Amino acid sequence: MKQFPISIVRFLGKSGATLMLVGLLLARFVAHGQQLISPDHSLALTFSLTSQGAPMYALTYKSKTVLKPSLMGFELVQEKPLNSGFSLLKEDTRSFDETWTPVWADVSHIRNNYNEFTVTLHQADTDRTMLIRFRLFNDGLGFRYEFPEQANLKYFVLKDEDTQFALAGDHKAFWLPGDLDTEEYSTVTSNLSEVRGKMKEAITPNASQHPIGPTALQTPLMMKSKDGLYINIHEAALINYAAMSVVLDDSNFVLTTYLTPDAQGNKGHLQVPTQTPWRTILVSDKAGDILLSHTILNLNDPTKFQDTSWIKPTKFVGVWWEMITGKSTWAYSDTDNVQLGVTDYTKLKPNGRHGANTQNVKRYIDFAAANGIGAVLAEGWNVGWEDWFGHEKDYVFDFLTPYPDFDVKGLHEYAASKGVKLIMHHETSGSTRNYERFMNPAYQFMVDNGYDTVKSGYVGNILPRGEFHYGQWTVNHFLYAVSTAAKYHIMVDAHESVHMTGLSRTFPNLMAEEAARGTEYEAFGGNNPDHTTILPFTRLMGGPMDYTPGIFEMKVEKINPKNHSYVHSTLARQLALYVTMYSPLQMVADLPENYEKHIDAFQFIKDVPVQWDDTKVLEAEPGDYITYARKAKGSDNWFVGRTNDELARESRISFDFLDPGRKYIATIYADAPDANYETNPQAYVIRKLNVTNTSTLTQKCAPGGGYAISVVAQ
Amino acid sequence: MKQFPISIVRFLGKSGATLMLVGLLLARFVAHGQQLISPDHSLALTFSLTSQGAPMYALTYKSKTVLKPSLMGFELVQEKPLNSGFSLLKEDTRSFDETWTPVWADVSHIRNNYNEFTVTLHQADTDRTMLIRFRLFNDGLGFRYEFPEQANLKYFVLKDEDTQFALAGDHKAFWLPGDLDTEEYSTVTSNLSEVRGKMKEAITPNASQHPIGPTALQTPLMMKSKDGLYINIHEAALINYAAMSVVLDDSNFVLTTYLTPDAQGNKGHLQVPTQTPWRTILVSDKAGDILLSHTILNLNDPTKFQDTSWIKPTKFVGVWWEMITGKSTWAYSDTDNVQLGVTDYTKLKPNGRHGANTQNVKRYIDFAAANGIGAVLAEGWNVGWEDWFGHEKDYVFDFLTPYPDFDVKGLHEYAASKGVKLIMHHETSGSTRNYERFMNPAYQFMVDNGYDTVKSGYVGNILPRGEFHYGQWTVNHFLYAVSTAAKYHIMVDAHESVHMTGLSRTFPNLMAEEAARGTEYEAFGGNNPDHTTILPFTRLMGGPMDYTPGIFEMKVEKINPKNHSYVHSTLARQLALYVTMYSPLQMVADLPENYEKHIDAFQFIKDVPVQWDDTKVLEAEPGDYITYARKAKGSDNWFVGRTNDELARESRISFDFLDPGRKYIATIYADAPDANYETNPQAYVIRKLNVTNTSTLTQKCAPGGGYAISVVAQ
């Protein structure tokens, strides 16, 4: 690691608006680089150039080192690199403080408050200019590279982005293997120095996967330092750029950005004026601050949508878990070779286990209508599922043609008569060109038939062949789908897509994504018991996850005798997930008949909303537990959710978030004393308490357990 | 080369319809393989399996060897090859004789007459089945591989197609370097044994090129044997399969198929039931028979279009040659960095040389209307041309937004008021995803604004990156464009697309393609003088070429003083090309002012039609000369065209194609005695003769010259 050199140090404010900032900066002036301080003074960024003119930054939090001097820049294909030989041409500073109203979020208003520092760097021997814009919030740093219009840099191809994150030590990390095609790994909790030894085991099989290397890790990467700092590294506003992973130098604990390559091995094709996504480092000495951060969202642009009235968060049920568990099938027949436009489906022998048949979907519609659940998903409604997987088929689905036993018009009428919306399913099998060809007619088909939300999927290798799920090409596709859907007033829930980066601010119809191991893995061998104590610190940092909570029947063999997997959670915790796993789109994932067996517990799912005015973190430690309290939108009621790892724990919370002097009735859905995710997951107790803002609660949580509370204002 | 083995020989007709065929076949029975005879007995195909069970075929023409025993089959990715271990499971024979009416062609009716022989081959150790279907016409052979539905072959990836064409000797060949991205090479005439020595020089620079190797050649490959056979090798019905080239074993004169790879180096992704394109070998001892062959067309399926009334052949002028010569520009401004949706074109400084400005287009509309030319093309009408080329830009054009000086509505009204149609221009810069995204709105835009034909272009490397112009992916794109255009009743003229393979029979809105060096190269250094004596034997075998003939001003510097290129043709030959280069879409390519200087010669262009009822070849020798006579559609008038190579030659023709006893006036547009393509290209003489079907003509042709005749019935 290079030393920070002595360099020319100037720091000049530009206007009255930055005057206070300048004052602060001057007060915290250091001798060997430019420094920027966060509005609350907790974070300090230092920027400098090495003696070779390489840009470098470092970050402290309350004087503790978050990032040691870390190099920045790019290597280019067939051109000189943009990572050294720079001189400082200009510096700009700015303060920003604004509160904005999201279309949906975990809170009703979001404060966007940062100090900004922008360096304009000039590379003399090529006469090229690059800017680095830093925004320092109270809970973290975002920075990006910007390439303005200029004579000697117009079109360029990235060979690598060199951005480093030089960590201060061997942190405890919550990590996934870096991969170009899947995020569906179990999170490994280990020190960074242990990554290499655990990598092989961490790389479990997936329908499409390209692990990057023995120390490559995905972002959001959550870490905890030995001196008690919680550090989260990710990116914001990933638009027309390859998604990032990081490669760990496990001798020095330096992370270096690794961009997903394209089919030719290049990392990105850019044209000025342009900029990279933001690289984000969130920091706090309280884990809950990471969970409450809106910095990634704030680093995205405000939406340009004029009308957002059509964007409506909802709960939904669907023909889905019965296929995941193996009880029924997506396919209509058991043949294994079909061709759209060739195969005559009316002549195929039905297999008798096709889930998305009209009668069965009506059953879900009835259940939704009876329980105030807004929408119904039906997967496997369209022809092509017989051989959709594993063949890299190009023309795999047409998104327009239902199976013979799926009555599109009839179901539209039936659902509408019951006041229930329909959720469309567009599995693409990774065949992005085919999806784009059908996109407009498929969305129009949705509009015509009562569907306002699409759950899309990208299982398997990406077509065009050679491209990866997280490369610039496919990232571009994902956002094209979202922006095209918006033209039809369609909301999107994308599965097997790229990690979220706060784009829902700009495209608020991007309701949720999967992009991690969801509940489906409970039927494929089970998720780690601590899975949901980690996801809010990792996957959810970029946006909501369609985790599909709410499984009440933990033994999958009760649904499909051949499947011996079980859900690694108690029933009470399944309720809690509606609070802890924030999403404006929440599935009520189990079969109707399983809810009917526990109708008292199901009451929580009926009651819990999907829109919130406020959010508090009452307890949090990644990998151990999280307890959230959220205030229902337009209501005085609160909902509390607690998720626990594999250990029995005691949760102690205060109700001090409630309005002073107000009386509330809390209905607590908790693990029974003998509950255990492995041996007795369905044991729960429900009790009611009168509470006020001075009340406290001590609640035992079972291994793999948790609790949910509805707090209703009187 | 392996010997034909002695194998079980049976040959059984299946039905009354094939009885005569069977009789013939039995009569020509050979002891060591199955044999099929053409309807006129001139061609004989022999099929057999080697002792290793490898399929093999051979072909004779009037007892002369056309192809020696040639191997067939495939190598697969991660599966056992399909090129040996076969046994003969079944044979089927069939005769076919039908005459059909094309939507447009060089004749009004086309006879499709062949004997067919299909072998069903079984590979015992894998239990896989493959069919080879041979169709033997009087002028050639077509065969393809078929893969029926079966248990052990469903999805497979081609590593290579092994089809060989084992030539009988060191033929004279008219060849282009085999390339994955361009057909725009000059034809080299040499013996096959000389290919390797001439390859390096033959590979001239192109905007996108990937030469295959030192002996790789493109198809259609035209050859002439020492014993006087004309042989043409190509393919028919190229659908969802990689385009073929051939690699020459120049010791044994064996050609082996080389399929264009995809981005991962594979040659094709197939799913049963499926089949390959047809491999075609046309043979005759008369060169003219090759030119008159409709075998490639016949091997394509009849069109499924219900209504073809909207498909209208036409001549057209356009804002094009002035950009090709460098007089004006496609781009509106001289900036070199624009971004759609970012750049404000109204604020750019116009360069003053933008060709597609409203006033200039109106000038072409006026000229078309005054001279009975049906349509006007305007290239460079839409924003994006400032940096369209060479940057592999993804979002390069939107096909919807005109430059500020191009009045879409006004020109629509103006053209309509003059009875002139407009031809749209869609240059894609190779960015196929971007084109597909805009395809539907762009075609609707055409419909809304009076355009019924699109000239598309694919200059530069293909996006998605790593794909080639002639791979399965891009071949699929080209046909997607044609079939999508058909939904809007739009005709297509595709440039830089894959070689034509007779698909205009199935998709008769595919009017023409470029797919070779057209007239534009006359402004880039010039085409070989013999170029147009070869193209009908090569490029045109698969379908019409938008060659853009009709240049009257041969010195390009008269248009753009900086361009010293000259057209390697006399003016008389430019007229002849309207007859010799058959296309239902014929450009009248020169500037209006250049026609006005030679209004007497221009009369031929005004008179010559684009639709024909009959076609005769009066004289033909590839590389030397071709003389066609064509009968205008729905008329008794004939038009004769003669194109000549670089030598002065005497053409001797008979008018015996005319109706007996009928009187005609022939207007002959011939090279003047001192005409020469290099020194005196514009010297022509026009004379009129009374002719009947007993008349003959001896006409001198200048070097690089030719003549055109209109023969008007009295």
Separation in Å, CA of B467 to nearest CA in chain A: 9
CA distance A155 to chain B (A): 7
Encode pLDDT of B404-446 as tens digits.
Answer: 999 999 999 999 999 999 999 999 999 999 999 999 999 999 9
A571-590 residue pLDDT tens:
999 999 999 999 999 999 99
Using CA atoms, how far apart are residues B107 and B292, in angstroms rounded to an integer? 10
Interface size A-B, in CB pairs within 8 Å, comes to 79
**Would you give the DSSP letter of residue B177?**
B
What angle, 0 to 180 degrees and rounded to 10, lies between the N-to-C axes of helices B358-371 and B408-417?
A: 20
Chain-chain contact of B436 with A436 (C-beta, under 8 angstroms): yes
Structure tokens that stand for B324 in this block: 């090709």
Checking if the pLDDT of B34 tops 90, the result is no
In a domain, A70, yes or no: yes
> Residue B157's closest chain A neighbor by CA?
A391
Domain boundary among B554, B576, B611: B611
Indicate if the alpha-carbon torsion angle B255, B261, B267, B270 is positive or negative.
negative
Cis peptide before A464 (omega within 30 of 0): yes
Print the SS3 string covering B235-273.
EECCCCCCCEEEEEECCCCEEEEEECCCCCCCCEEEECC
- Positive or negative, the CA dihedral A131, A135, A141, A142 is negative
Nearest to B149 among A263, A266, A337 (CB): A337
Q: Which chain A residues in 303-362 lie under 8 Å from chain B, judged by CB atoms?
A: 336-337, 339, 342
Instruction: Report chain B residues whose CB lies below 8 A from the CB of A438.
Output: none
Query: Which residues of chain A lie closer than 8 angstroms to B341, CB-CB?
Result: none
Quick check: B466 and A154 CB within 8 A?
A: no
Tell whether B272 lies on the interface with A, counting CB pairs under 8 A.
yes
Which residue blocks in A293-357 are alpha helix, DSSP H?
295-298, 321-324
CA nearest B167: which of B64, B294, B301, B55?
B64
Q: Does residue B642 belong to any structural domain of this protein?
A: no
Q: Which residues of A touch B476 (CB under 8 A)?
A: 394
When pLDDT is averaged across residues B376-399 and rounded to a whole number, the result is 97
**Residue B508 sits in the same domain as residue B607:** yes
Nearest to B384 by CA among B431, B423, B421: B431
pLDDT digits (tens, 9 = 90+) for A8-46: 233 333 333 333 333 333 333 333 578 999 999 999 999
| CB atoms B155 and A393 under 8 Å | yes
Q: Which of residues A559, A576, A611 is at a domain's end?
A: A611
CB contact under 8 A, B154 and A337: yes
Instruction: Tell me if A403 sits within 8 A of A356, measured CB to CB.
Output: yes
pLDDT of res. B14? 33
Tallying the residues shown for chain B, one arrives at 714
**Chain-chain contact of B269 with A392 (C-beta, under 8 angstroms):** yes
- Best residue in B398, B433, B474 to probe A by mutation, most A CBs within 10 Å? B433
Instruction: Check whether residue A331 and residue A373 sit in a common domain.
Output: yes
Q: How far is it, in rounded angstroms, from Cα A574 to Cα A515?
A: 20
What does the block give as tokens for A10?
A: 């100037």
List the CATH number of the domain containing B78: 2.70.98.10
Q: How many domains is chain A built from? A: 2
Strand, coil or helix: A246: strand
Same domain, B353 and B443: yes
Determine, for residues A466 and B387 on separate chains, whether the beta-carbon distance falls below 8 Å.
no
Locate all alpha helices (DSSP H) within B177-246, ordered by sequence.
195-202
Residues in chain B within 8 Å Cβ distance of A336: 154
Q: Are A278 and A228 in contact (CB under 8 A)?
A: no
Q: Cβ separation of A465 and B266 shorter than 8 Å?
A: yes
Residues B392 and B284 in one domain: no
B27 touches chain A (CB under 8 A): no
Reported in sequence order, the residue ranges of B596-648 that DSSP labels E, i.e. its strands, are 612-621, 625-632, 638-644
Mean pLDDT value across residues B122-134 = 98
Bridge partner residues of B176 (DSSP): none
Cβ-proximal residues to A30 (8 Å cutoff; 6+ apart), any chain: A9, A46
Residue B367 contacts by C-beta under 8 Å, 6 or more apart in sequence? B317, B373, B592, B595
- CB atoms A394 and B269 under 8 Å: yes
Residue of chain B whose Cα is closest to the Cα of A390: B155
Distance separating alpha carbons of residues B259 and B246, to the nearest angstrom: 8
Q: What is the DSSP string of A144-195?
A: EEEE---SS-SEEEEEEE--EEEESS--EEEE-B-BSS---SPPEEEEGGGH
CATH of the domain at B549: 3.20.20.70
Contacts of A63 (CB under 8 A, 6+ apart): none
Catalytic residue among A513, A520, A522, A646: A520
- Are B425 and B479 in a shared domain? yes
**Which residues of chain A does B266 touch, with a Cβ-Cβ cutoff of 8 Å?**
465
Inter-chain CB proximity B394 and A466 less than 8 Å: no
Please give the model's pTM, rounded to 2 decimal places. Answer: 0.95
Pairing, β A421-427 against β A451-457:
parallel
Q: Which of B271, B275, B437, B438 to substitute to test the interface with A, most A CBs within 10 Å?
A: B271
Distance CA A500, CA A543 (A): 5
Question: Which of A638, A640, A643, A650 is CA-nearest to residue A620?
Answer: A643
pLDDT in tens, B592-603: 999 999 999 999
pLDDT score of B28: 36
Element (H, E) at B23: helix B19-27
Question: Which of A147, A275, A337 is the best residue to mutate to test the B interface, defined by the most B CB atoms within 10 Å of its own CB?
Answer: A337
Neighbour-count burial of B75, counting CB atoms closer than 10 A to its CB (0-12 exposed, 13-18 middle, 19+ buried)? middle
pLDDT tens per residue, range B249-299: 999 999 999 999 999 999 999 999 999 999 999 999 999 999 999 999 999
Alpha carbon distances (Å) from B400 to A84, B330, B440: 42, 16, 11
Q: Enter the DSSP assignment of B705.
A: -
CA B683 to chain centre: 31
Would B620 be classed as within a structural domain?
no
Residue B498 in any domain: the answer is yes
In a domain, A289, yes or no: yes
Instruction: Flag if A473 and B465 touch (Cβ within 8 Å).
Output: yes
Q: How many Å lie between the alpha carbon of B155 and the closest alpha carbon of chain A?
A: 7
- B339 CB neighbours in chain A (<8 A) are 271, 273
- Nearest to A265, CA basis, from A242, A247, A234: A242
Which positions of chain A have pLDDT values less than 70?
A: 1-32
- Residue A273: closest C-alpha in chain B: B339
The answer on A590 and A493 residing in a single domain is: yes
Residue B480 CA: distances (Å) to CA of A433, B3, B240, B457: 11, 44, 10, 14
Q: What is the pLDDT of residue B33?
A: 75
Q: How far B549 CA sits from the closest chain A CA (Å)? A: 36
| A417 and A280 housed in the same domain | no
What pairs with residue B454 in β-bridges? B424, B492
B285 and B422 both lie in a single domain: no
Instruction: Name the phi and psi angles at A288, rounded to 5.
Output: -60, -30
Confirm whether A194 is a catalytic residue.
no
- Is B266 an interface residue toward A (CB < 8 Å)? yes
Tell me which residues of B are annotated as active site.
Answer: 520
Question: For residues B201 and A165, what is the distance between their CA atoms, to the nearest angstrom?
Answer: 52
Between A472-487 and A432-448, two packed helices, what is the crossing angle to 10 degrees? Answer: 10
Which chain B residues are Cβ-neighbours of A434 within 8 angstroms? none
Domain boundary among B546, B579, B611: B611
Chain B contacts of A391, Cβ < 8 Å?
Answer: 154-155, 271
- Residue A173 pairs with which residues in a beta bridge? A190, A223
Is A454 in the same domain as A527?
yes
Residues 144-163 (A) with a CB less than 8 A from some CB of B? 149, 154-155
pLDDT of residue B32: 52
CA distance B21 to B94: 8
Residue range A510-567, pLDDT digits in tens: 999 999 999 999 999 999 999 999 999 999 999 999 999 999 999 999 999 999 999 9
B interface mutation test: which of A128, A208, A465, A476 has the most B CBs within 10 A? A465
Using the Cβ of B392 and the Cβ atoms of chain A, whether some distance falls under 8 Å is answered with yes
Q: Which pLDDT belongs to residue A67?
A: 98
- Chain B nearest-CA distance from A500, in A, is 23
Comparing CB atoms, the residue among A264, A271, A476 nearest residue B465 is A264
Q: Is residue B361 part of a domain?
A: yes
CB A245 within 8 A of CB A279: no
Q: What are phi and psi of A542, to 5 degrees?
A: -90, -15
Contact list in A for residue B465 (CB cut-off 8 A) is: 262-264, 266, 269, 473
Residues B53 and B23 in one domain: yes
Q: Is B398 in CB contact (< 8 Å) with chain A?
A: no
Say if residue B12 is in the same domain as residue B122.
Answer: yes
Which residues of chain B does A465 touch, with a Cβ-Cβ cutoff of 8 Å? 262-264, 266, 269, 473
Instruction: Give the domain extent around A27.
Output: 7-154+276-298
Per-residue confidence (pLDDT) for residue A319, from 0 to 100:
98
Residues B291, B392 within the same domain: no
Q: Which of residues 430-459 of A touch B (CB under 8 A)?
A: 433, 436-437, 440
DSSP states of A411-464 = HHHHHHHTT-EEEEEEE-TTBHHHHHHHHHHHHHHHHHTTEEEEEEE--SS-BS
Contact A436 B433 (CB under 8 A): yes
A324 token code pair:
């995941």
Q: What is the ipTM of this complex?
A: 0.94
User: Is the residue at A65 inside a domain?
Assistant: yes
Number of neighbouring beta carbons within 10 Å of residue B284: 23
Residue B9 has pLDDT above 60, yes or no: no
Tell me the average pLDDT across B296-313. 98
CA distance B523 to A195: 63
Q: How far is CA B348 from CA A272, B343, B352, B390, B399, in A?
A: 17, 8, 12, 22, 19
Domain annotation covers residue B229: no
Write the residue in B336, B342, B433 that is nearest to A433 by C-beta.
Answer: B433
- Beta strands of B320-460 (E only): which ranges? 375-378, 421-427, 451-457
Residues of B in contact with A394 (CB under 8 A): 269, 476
